[in-house]
A and B are shown apart, each in its own frame.
Chain A
Amino acid sequence: MNTEDDRGVDPGVTAFALAVIVFLQIPVIVVVLAAFSTTSYLTIPPQGLTFAWFGKVLSDPTYLSAIRMSLILACGSTAISLVVGVAAAYALLRKAFPGAEAITSFLMAPLVLPAVVIGVALLQYFSLTGLRGSLLGLLMAHVVITSPYIVRSALASLSGVDLATEEAARVLGANGLEAFRLVTLPLIVPGLVAGALFSFITSLDNVPVTIFLISANQTTLPVLIFTSVEMGIDPSVAAVSTLLIFATGVVLLFAERRFGFHRFV
Chain B
Amino acid sequence: MIRTRHGIMLLAPLALVLVGFFLVPVIMMLPTSFREYQPGLGLAPGTWTLENYTQIVTDDYYREVISRTLGLGLLVTLACLLLGYPVAYLIARGPDRWRVPLILLVVFPMMLNLVVRSFGWIALLANHGLVNNLLIELGLISSPLKLMFNLTGLMIGLTHIYLPFMVLMLVVAIRNVPRDVEAAAAVLGSTRVHVFAAVTLPLSAPGILAGSILVFVLTISALVTPRMLGGPTYKVMATLIYDEYMQLLDWPSGSALSFALTFMAVGVIWLSSRLTKRWAGMA
Does B201 sit at the interface, judged by CB under 8 A?
no
Does B282 sit at the interface, judged by CB under 8 A?
no
Nearest residue, chain B, Cβ from A83: B13
The answer on a CB contact under 8 Å between B262 and A117 is yes
The answer on a CB contact under 8 Å between B223 and A121 is no
Nearest residue, chain A, Cβ from B134: A44
Does A122 sit at the interface, judged by CB under 8 A?
yes
Q: Which residues of B contact A24 (CB under 8 A)?
A: 105-106, 109, 160, 163-164
Q: Give residues 117-138 of A contacting B (CB, 8 Å).
A: 117-118, 120-125, 128, 137
Question: In the docked arrangement, what's the CA distance between A223 and B107, Å?
Answer: 23
A-B contacts, 24 of them at CB < 8 A, read A3-B183, A9-B89, A14-B90, A18-B90, A20-B163, A24-B109, A24-B164, A28-B120, A34-B123, A41-B128, A84-B13, A84-B17, A114-B265, A120-B255, A121-B29, A124-B25, A125-B25, A147-B14, A151-B14, A205-B115, A226-B227, A238-B119, A251-B111, A265-B168
Does A204 sit at the interface, judged by CB under 8 A?
yes
Number of interface residues of A (CB under 8 A): 92
Q: Which residues of B contact A121 (CB under 8 A)?
A: 22, 25-26, 28-29, 258
Does B178 sit at the interface, judged by CB under 8 A?
no
Question: In the docked arrangement, what's the CA distance between A4 and B95, Å?
Answer: 9
Contact with B along A28-63 (1 / 0, CB 8 A): 101100100000011110000000000000000000
Q: Which residues of A contact B94 (CB under 8 A)?
A: 8-9, 14
Contact with A along B242-276 (1 / 0, CB 8 A): 10011000010011001101100110010000000
Does A192 sit at the interface, judged by CB under 8 A?
no
Instruction: Give min CB distance, A61 to chain B, whole Å.
Output: 20
The answer on a CB contact under 8 Å between B133 and A43 is yes
The answer on a CB contact under 8 Å between B105 and A21 is yes
Question: In the docked arrangement, what's the CA distance between A225 and B114, Å?
Answer: 10
Chain A interface main SS type: helix
Does A94 sit at the interface, judged by CB under 8 A?
yes
Question: In the docked arrangement, what's the CA distance between A25 and B120, Å?
Answer: 10
Does B57 sit at the interface, judged by CB under 8 A?
no
Counting residue pairs across A and B whose Cβ atoms lie within 8 Å, the total is 274
Nearest residue, chain B, Cβ from A5: B95
Instruction: Give min CB distance, B194 to chain A, whole Å.
Output: 13
Instruction: Give min CB distance, A103 to chain B, whole Å.
Output: 7
Q: Which residues of A contact B119 (CB under 8 A)?
A: 27, 31, 225, 229, 233, 237-238, 241
Q: Which residues of B contact A261 (CB under 8 A)?
A: 107
If A118-B22, A141-B21 touch, does A225 touch B123 (CB 8 Å cutoff)? Answer: no
The answer on a CB contact under 8 Å between A42 and B123 is yes
The answer on a CB contact under 8 Å between A265 and B120 is no
Does B32 sit at the interface, judged by CB under 8 A?
yes
Nearest residue, chain A, Cβ from B221: A114
Partner of A31 from the list B25, B84, B116, B126 (CB cut-off 8 Å) is: B116
The answer on a CB contact under 8 Å between A8 and B95 is yes
Question: In the docked arrangement, what's the CA distance between A230 and B230, Å?
Answer: 11
Does A252 sit at the interface, judged by CB under 8 A?
yes
Does A172 sit at the interface, judged by CB under 8 A?
no
The answer on a CB contact under 8 Å between A88 and B109 is no
Partner of B262 from the list A106, A113, A212 (CB cut-off 8 Å) is: A113
